[in-house]
Amino acid sequence: MTNPLLADWTTPFGLAPFDTISDADFEPAFDAALTQHMAEIEAIASASEAPTFANTIEAMEGAGEALDKVLSVFFSVAGADTNDKRQELQRAFSPRLADHSSKIYQNRALFDRIRALWEGREGLGLSAEEARVLMLTYRGFVRAGAALDGDEATRMAEVKSRLAVLGTQFTQNLLADEAGWSMALDEGDLEGLPDFLVAAARAAGKDMGQDGPVITLSRSLVVPFLQFSPRRDLRETAWRAWTARGANGGETDNREIATEILALREERAKLLGYDNFAAFKLETEMAGSPDKVRDLLMQVWKPARASALADAAEMEGMLQEDGVNGPLKGWDWRYYAEKRRKAQHDLDEAELKPYLQLDKMIEASFACATRLFGLAFKPLDLPLYHPDCRVWEVTRDGQHVALFIGDYFARPSKRSGAWCSAMQMQAKRPEPKAPIVVNVCNFAKPEAGAPALLSYDDARTLFHEFGHALHQMLSDVEFGSIAGTSVARDFVELPSQLYEHWLEVPEVLEEFATHAETGAAMPKAMLDKVLAAANFDMGFQTVEFVASALVDLEFHDGAAPADPMAKQAEVLADLGMPEAIPMRHATPHFAHVFAGDGYSSGYYSYMWSEVMDADAFEAFTETGSAFDPETAKRLEEFILSAGGSEEAEDLYKKFRGRMPGVEALLKGRGLAA
């Protein structure tokens, strides 16, 4: 019987045949696909013909299709619906993939062909996009160590293999800590909690096979519990568990893993001739250097810290009015911030949440894409990797554009956070491919028959991830290696953060923010309060983010710390970190930085992109319409469809005419002087 992962897929739009794939299929398919890809690479490297763009670079673009298919399915289910077998396979596959990559980059015959093309590029008659792909391929090989010889090449392969093992282990430890903790509540503990939170806690308890309600470490449960529970003792218990993920001792402790990862990254950078890992990593980003990153973050830090300290003083007074004679603590902040918001803006999350139904917010995100880009979304009934997943065909003018999969609910088998991935990247060469895009979120699943309700932050997350999806779906380039989100890390968050702005467009909320029980539109008075409170508690949100970004930067800009926890404490002390605000991601659960090196030295990139997204949305508001067709056309042409076909700064300037300063960001966050 043919392994379904290796067979020709006759499914609609090339979607994986999830209903025929079992965990037993992954390992043999992986083995066969890995061998096939290496044979394809060897054939390119050993070709007797002189190197050309077609027989070397374009041939490499087309190689590994079977491996891409296997890995796209495997990593989708391993991240969003894991089990013991999938975790075991992940641990086995990670070092083998790193070794496979190292063999390709250390293939001297292949590198010689690429280098010959690079050195003779002026006479090749390449298109602008072909020239870009050649440059990125050559640069990628050099940065991966292709020019290293002997012991240095061997050591580079060992370092990358070990980093792959450690990143997988870090992720699995974090998932184990998150899935392994829960706090059972008795009926008396539910006092003061809004109905939506009680229902979500009961649903979580049922999922875990318990009789009563429970609070888990899913963000969609623990954050509202910290917001609404009047029980300070229970808030402290939940907060301590949430902030201690990855640092509980025993087999799932991530602290030693973080230490080893940082040391290996420094060694990798020095093998390539860089002073430290941040210098290596940031060389190809828009920021270019650690100093530029630090400058941006510190410009934001100072007003954010001042705002947060003023808020903390006010909330400490509220705490003492409640009879607590002590300082404001981390488990108090969200509770008193919610009280402050209700007092200042007369806005209660419990009253707001019924107007933010998941289905209506999905509909809103689609409707904005229809008005801006002419996209249409048709629900399909196709087998997917989990019953909670949903899928739509995306079309424009009747033509197929993409498949879009939404996986919205938290479950113990899903890693925390939210992300966008592509099971298939857009490409025209060597053969045409339409994107298959997945958005994964962790919203609280309602009890059976009840509508799923979102917080305003959840709704923003939904729009954010859909912005990434649009970047993938609207991609229109020749080669998959530069398609969609294959851009500089500090540019990749621009489309996602920009798309969040449409959630705050009054006409969008007026149409789609309707009450789950009555169907009535959100009252104008509430809508006004929502928009007025958009920057509420922004000091806290900015401080927790910037602190994490600065710790990440300091970990990598210099010698690797022997004790990352001590280094973290030192950085926070130097910043004057407010006592009641933790980092958004403390080191032992900082998956952005330690699960892989995608955001290492790069967590700042959300804020770098935000400088642009605030300015980019102003391009619409300056026209008087959030849906101005000419501005939308430019956004698609120069940002969303262009992928990595040009330098990010050049693309932004084509869209906006100039680069923005930090002022738009401070204004957008309500932190401008």
User: What residues are annotated to the active site?
Assistant: 465
d(CA 159, CA 265): 8
**Is 542 in contact with 536 (CB distance < 8 Å)?**
no
- Beta strand pairing status for 390-396 and 375-380? antiparallel
Render 326-363 in DSSP notation, one character per residue. S---HHHHHHHHHHHHHHHH---HHHHGGG-BHHHHHH
d(CA 268, CA 168): 18
d(CA 79, CA 372): 31
3-state secondary structure of 36: helix
DSSP state of 134: H
d(CA 261, CA 255): 10
Question: Cα angle at 133 between 129 and 135, to 5 degrees?
Answer: 115
- Beta strand pairing status for 399-409 and 390-396? antiparallel
**Is 652 in contact with 608 (CB distance < 8 Å)?**
no
- In sequence order, what are the residues at sequence separation of 6 or more whose Cβ sits closer than 8 angstroms to the Cβ of residue 576? 305
**Is 466 in contact with 439 (CB distance < 8 Å)?**
yes
d(CA 591, CA 649): 28
What is the dihedral angle through the alpha carbons of 284, 290, 295, 301, rounded to the nearest 10 degrees?
Answer: 110
d(CA 301, CA 547): 8
Question: Cα angle at 509 between 352 and 498, to 5 degrees?
Answer: 110
Which H or E run contains 105?
Answer: helix 84-105
d(CA 192, CA 607): 36
d(CA 513, CA 429): 42
DSSP state of 403: E
d(CA 339, CA 325): 19
- In sequence order, what are the residues at sequence separation of 6 or more whose Cβ sits closer than 8 angstroms to the Cβ of residue 254? 170, 173, 174, 246, 247, 587, 588, 589, 594
3-state secondary structure of 386: coil
- The two structure tokens encoding residue 476: 């229109």
Burial of 449 (0-12, 13-18, 19+ CB in 10 A): exposed
d(CA 220, CA 458): 8
What sign for the dihedral angle of Cα 366, 605, 139, 164? negative
Exposure on the CB side of residue 83, measured as CA atoms within 13 A: 6
In DSSP terms, which residues pair with 524 in a beta bridge? none
Render 621-661 in DSSP notation, one character per residue. HTTT-TT-HHHHHHHIIIIITTTTSS-HHHHHHHHHSS---
d(CA 95, CA 84): 18
- Distance in angstroms between the alpha carbons of the first and the last residue of the chain: 69
CA nearest neighbour of 467 among 435, 507, 502, 441: 502
